[in-house]
Amino acid sequence: MPPVKTLAELRRALDPKPLRLDQLDQYFVETGDARDAKVSRRHEIAERLAAGTSKKVLLAGHAGTGKSTELVKLRAEHKDRFTFVELSITTDGDPGKVNTEGLLVLIAEAVLRKTHDLRINLDEAHLEKIYGWFEQTFVSRETSSSPSGELGGGIDLQDSFLGKLLGLTATLKVGIQTGSSVVSRKVREFEHRLPELTARCGELLKEAELALSAATGTRLVLIVEDLDKVDVEPAGRLFIENPAPLAALPVRAVFTAPIFLWCNPRAGVLESHFDKVTMPMIKVANPNGKRYLPGWETVRDILAHRVDLSACIEDKALDLAIAKTAGVLRHLFSVLNLAALAAEQDFKRGYREQERINKSDVRYGLDRLKIELIQKIGVMGLPDEFKDIETPDLYHRLEELKAPKLADSDRINLLLMQAQALLEYNGKGWHRVHPLVLEHLEESRSS
């Protein structure tokens, strides 16, 4: 499919969602040199996973930098080596209420569904024991003694213990998605239940790994996405306060993680449980402010795979959009979508002769994005460990970091990175205030 030539098509083509496997050939652009010219992060992740049977990789990076697309490409490159089981906290769970017990249930459901879809036979005797624990723990007499009927895809829930266990975990998953889950309440009734749930999930993973290896010659790899979108407090509970349940699972796994997790004062806990990998931002400017051509051309190439740039946007307008979004692809796509809407409307009203994005359209999109970024700079609703920090402290730090520089990882920088007011580049720890936030600082000073 050739790059689109109209603004209506542009808005569909610049969908910020990660690429699907079937879109890689058409849209994927290699970004390695623009992120880190020395080591490909996909290669690093694959080698870390191969180094041990239960390796856990925490993949961190700013939201909107392309982590998910890189993981899709990883799956395509290593499909003969690994069988990947993917789940997303955003689509499969509730990112506002993430907890360990809910995540374990989602993992169990995803693994069961994958083995069913691949027609992999698991040991029914083992599954019967696992199902018995799940039924005893989570099914009440007031609701139903067991799931019945069929699940999506024609799964007969009474056909086997695989079907029964998949049906039960799928029911629990719906509760997690809708906020009506009994999982947390049932697990927290008794102190021993979380270790038991972890053990039952571990038994299931071992059984799935053995069966997959025998049937396909591949190893199981779990990919849990969108944990980088959860807030400071639940992320800390999952990975720092009680990392053992996830870290102890007998499976290779990749968990996306918030970039600010690295700045937690207790981040040293991570080292003993996980392999940490940071997905660097695409660098479009050097610390001295001059254009970084490999990164700049990579961003243009990403757009050119989707959009006929000469037909849809003026060169100076595109340069402005790339410069002001600083390598954050989600921001760039959002700005160009809004700019396309503005250009379309002006053209329909007869205010211009060409239906093409110009600098004023891009400026409109940038101003909308700037408002969103500024609204995120604050301390409302933060956990107790941040209660001594006030919003003026955040702005004082931004003033200190106006010139790009290496910066310490502390709580204030953590909050600024969470808000994407502060961006970190290429794994070397140099930080840059988001160009639109920098604009806001300069406007505030002059007003």
If asked whether residues 272 and 394 sit together in one domain, one would say: no
pLDDT (tens digit, 9 = 90+) per residue, 374-427?
999 988 777 777 788 999 999 999 999 888 777 666 788 888 888 899 988 865
Q: Are 230 and 28 a contacting pair, CB within 8 Å?
A: no
Q: Given 254, 278, 302, which residue is the final one in a domain?
A: 278
Q: How confident is the model at residue 337 (pLDDT cuts 50, 70, 90)?
A: very high
pLDDT at 105: 96
Least confident piece of the model among 249-253, 260-264, 439-443: 260-264
What pLDDT is stored for residue 10 in this prediction?
97
DSSP for residue 387: T
Single residue among 278, 309, 336 that ends a domain in this structure: 278
Question: Is this prediction's pTM over 0.95?
Answer: no
* Number of domains within the chain: 2
Q: In this predicted structure, what is the pLDDT of residue 153?
A: 41
**Tokens (6 digits) for 181:** 């889950």
In a domain, 150, yes or no: yes
Q: Which of 244, 278, 312 is the last residue of a domain?
A: 278
Whether 258 and 235 have beta carbons less than 8 Å apart is answered as: yes
Task: Judge if 88 and 233 occupy the same domain.
Answer: yes
Looking at the domain assignment, is residue 6 inside a domain?
Answer: no
Task: Name the average pLDDT for the chain.
Answer: 89
Shared domain check, 394 and 274: no
Residues 62 and 67: their CA atoms lie apart, in Å, by: 9
Which residues face 324 on adjacent strands? none
Among 329, 316, 436, which residue's Cα sits nearest to residue 376? 436
Q: Is residue 58 assigned to a domain?
A: yes
- Euclidean distance between CA atoms 97 and 353, whole angstroms: 50
410 lies in which domain range? 384-446
Same domain, yes or no: 91 and 222 = yes
Say if residue 73 is in the same domain as residue 221.
yes
Return the beta strands (E) in 305-384 as ranges. none
Residue 332 covered by a domain? no
Report residue 344 CA to chain centroid gap. Answer: 32
